[in-house]
């Protein structure tokens, strides 16, 4: 009972603070609703970025992978810091110079409306079919396990799953649809603090459990007894072969942190470039510590349970139940609930933005006022949320290893979009035709590769890793675009205009801290190699 009360109390506190912090924001304007009035500071951006990224599919899924393979899966976390530095120094200045609210808006200016429509469609499809349902499903599983919801409600696991999915979906929709980006960002910042505290409690109590009350003894015992789990290189059979770090892994990270609307929208809402860069750099420093929350607990669970769990994805929930004091379960569940909501409402808020700005305004009602655009986005968000809530429970019948599955499926749209953005900024004469062909060819070729050739023609064991395939298609798409650009160049060179929406004076320490972060990441890999 104490756990439930602390869960409700912390969740309510976050909601009240978010409401008070957003009362003065004009939610009837596009900038106010979609970008928080372009008023977000570095700390708020950093907190929102981290919590948007960190959710149950990552906490549970990545710890499950660490349970099986050890510290090598930290590549998903530590390499993200490098991608965030590149985004802060290279991409963000260009985004804010153009005053864009969405990535497809830039693509329209650089290419044409068809490019914008294709990109928005790919983003929305990815959010609806993959991201939103998986976040709801994994979140519902975590909450059901921590509070034993089936027994509490006296219902079957299936009914409890549906109930929790709709509960999470409805609460997340209220934040995202009716509060706009600022409500999402403020709640994320508060929850990020809680998640850091709560997330670090699990390895602390786990190591103390192993060391009979001594943290240092726990660390020593864990590393001595399981040396194979602390090898960051792995082998050819690893889920992340070391070579992929230099191919598709960095491309995935660049797409996610630099072009994914659900993520970059926080930085687009910065009050100026300096605050946006601070937010990304601050977040990248904390991201380096990410393995303490999403990797080390999986290794601790392996040591405690001696690899005897029937399903690796059970490692984190079982560890929490084993080592966390009962008095802290409610607080930790509330923090975890905040992480679930963050990923859900962030993707939903971005979907609302994409629909309102890039589709409704452009193709449905070209004369729409800002208030009409916002309202249309809200109605679309409600429809999207309902669809995601209906789809989510059926993921129970999907294959195991949802984290890896999520990364692989995302390749359908991540690589094509990253390609046309990079080429768009680095060239001036490549035409819209090249971008539109690259989007379609990139998505179609990846689908054929991973869902036809690999399973039905070559077999998984005889086929390149999906991260290598991403790198191959990235290079191929760039070549296609450059060849078309050479044969049929734009009549006029593209020049980005400064819209003067915000001050774009860079943060003077951005590059210094950026180099320091990259050095720390490289040193970490060398230490664990």
What b/e sequence results for 410-447 when a residue is b if at least 16 CB atoms lie within 10 Å of its CB, and e otherwise? bbbbbbbbbbbbbbbbebeebbbbbbbbbbebbbebbe
Q: What is the domain extent for residue 243? A: 32-401+507-527
In a domain, 221, yes or no: yes
Hey, is 448 helix, strand or coil?
A: helix
Per-residue pLDDT, 23 = 52
Give a yes or no: residue 215 inside a domain: yes
Residue-wise pLDDT tens digits, 16-59: 655 555 555 444 444 444 444 566 788 888 877 877 777 777 88
| Cα–Cα distance, 164 to 416 (Å, whole number) | 35
Q: Tell me: the pLDDT tens digits for 130-139?
A: 778 888 887 8
Model confidence at 148: pLDDT above 90: no
- For the record, the structure tokens of 157 come out as 């696991």
pLDDT at 485 over 70: yes
Q: Helix or strand or coil: residue 254?
A: helix
pLDDT of residue 236: 67
For the segment 124-148, the average pLDDT, to the nearest whole number, is 80
Residue 291 lies in a domain: yes
- The contacts of residue 381 (CB under 8 Å, 6+ apart) are 173, 176, 177, 348, 349, 351, 352, 355
Cβ 412 vs Cβ 446: under 8 Å: yes
Is residue 458 domain-resident? no
Residue with tokens 């930085």: 267
* pLDDT of res. 510: 93
Q: Cβ distance 63 to 199 under 8 Å?
A: no
Q: Which two tokens stand for residue 208?
A: 């103390």
Q: Considering only 112-121, 279-288, 390-399, 447-456, which range has the smallest mean pLDDT?
A: 390-399
Q: Is residue 1 part of a domain?
A: no
Give the pLDDT of residue 12: 64
Measured between alpha carbons, how far is 528 from 501 in angstroms, rounded to an integer?
Answer: 45
The CATH number of residue 201's host domain is: 1.20.1730.10
Q: Is 145 or 387 the better-scoring residue by pLDDT?
A: 387
**Structure token digits, residue 268:** 């687009």
Has residue 308 been placed in a domain?
A: yes
Residue 76 is assigned to a structural domain of this protein: yes
Query: Does residue 388 have a pLDDT over 70?
Result: yes
Greatest mean pLDDT among 205-214, 238-247, 350-359, 366-375: 205-214
Average pLDDT on 296-319 reads 87
- Top mean pLDDT of 63-72, 82-91, 168-177 is at 82-91
**Please, are residues 450 and 460 in contact by the beta-carbon 8 Å criterion?**
no
Q: How many domains does the structure of the chain reveal?
A: 1
Question: How sure is the predictor about 487, in pLDDT bands with cuts at 50, 70 and 90?
Answer: very high
In the prediction, which pLDDT does 89 show? 94
**63 domain-assigned:** yes
Among 139-143, 171-175, 383-387, which stretch is predicted with the lowest mean pLDDT?
171-175
């Amino acid at each position: 009972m104490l756990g439930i009360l602390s869960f409700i109390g912390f969740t309510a506190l976050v909601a009240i603070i978010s409401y008070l912090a957003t009362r003065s924001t004009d939610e009837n304007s596009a900038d106010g609703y979609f970008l928080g009035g372009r008023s977000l500071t570095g700390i708020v951006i950093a907190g929102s970025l981290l919590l948007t990224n960190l959710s149950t599919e990552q906490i549970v899924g990545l710890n499950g992978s660490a349970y099986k393979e050890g510290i090598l899966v930290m590549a998903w976390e530590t390499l993200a810091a490098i991608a965030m530095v590149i985004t802060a120094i290279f991409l963000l200045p260009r985004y804010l110079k153009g005053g864009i609210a969405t990535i497809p808006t830039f693509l329209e200016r650089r290419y044409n409306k068809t490019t914008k429509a294709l990109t928005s469609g790919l983003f929305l499809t990815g959010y609806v079919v993959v991201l939103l349902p998986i976040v709801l499903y994994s979140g519902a599983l975590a909450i059901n396990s921590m509070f034993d919801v089936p027994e509490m409600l006296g219902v079957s696991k299936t009914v409890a799953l549906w109930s929790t999915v709709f509960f999470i979906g409805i609460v997340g929709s209220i934040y995202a649809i009716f509060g706009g980006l600022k409500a999402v960002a403020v709640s994320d910042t508060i929850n990020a603090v809680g998640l850091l505290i709560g997330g670090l409690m699990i390895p602390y109590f786990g190591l103390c459990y192993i060391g009979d009350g001594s943290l240092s003894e726990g660390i020593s015992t864990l590393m001595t007894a399981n040396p194979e789990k602390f090898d960051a290189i792995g082998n050819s059979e690893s889920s992340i072969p070391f070579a992929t770090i230099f191919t598709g892994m960095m491309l995935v990270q660049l797409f996610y942190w630099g072009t994914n609307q659900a993520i970059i929208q926080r930085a687009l809402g910065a009050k100026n470039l300096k605050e946006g860069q601070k937010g990304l750099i601050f977040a990248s420093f904390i991201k380096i510590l990410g393995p303490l929350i999403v990797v080390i607990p999986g290794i601790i669970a392996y040591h405690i349970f001696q690899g005897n769990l029937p399903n690796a994805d059970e490692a984190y929930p079982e560890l929490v139940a084993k080592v966390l004091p009962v008095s802290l379960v409610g607080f930790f569940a509330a923090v975890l609930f905040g992480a679930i909501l963050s990923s859900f409402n962030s993707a939903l808020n971005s979907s609302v933005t994409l629909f309102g700005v890039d589709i409704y305004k452009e193709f449905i009602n070209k004369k729409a006022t800002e208030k009409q655009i916002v309202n249309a986005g809200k109605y679309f968000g409600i429809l999207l949320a309902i669809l995601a809530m209906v789809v989510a429970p059926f993921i129970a019948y999907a294959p195991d290893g949802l984290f890896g599955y999520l990364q692989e499926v995302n390749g359908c749209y991540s690589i094509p979009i990253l390609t046309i953005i990079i080429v768009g900024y680095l060239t001036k004469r490549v035409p819209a035709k090249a971008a539109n062909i690259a989007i379609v060819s990139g998505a179609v070729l990846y689908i054929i590769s991973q869902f036809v050739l690999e399973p039905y023609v070559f077999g998984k064991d005889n086929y390149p890793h999906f991260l290598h395939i991403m790198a191959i298609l990235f290079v191929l798409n760039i070549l296609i675009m450059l060849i078309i650009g050479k044969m049929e160049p734009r009549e006029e060179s593209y020049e980005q205009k400064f819209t003067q929406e915000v001050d774009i004076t860079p943060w003077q320490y951005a590059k210094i801290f950026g180099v320091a972060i990259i050095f720390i990441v490289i040193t970490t890999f060398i230490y664990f190699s």
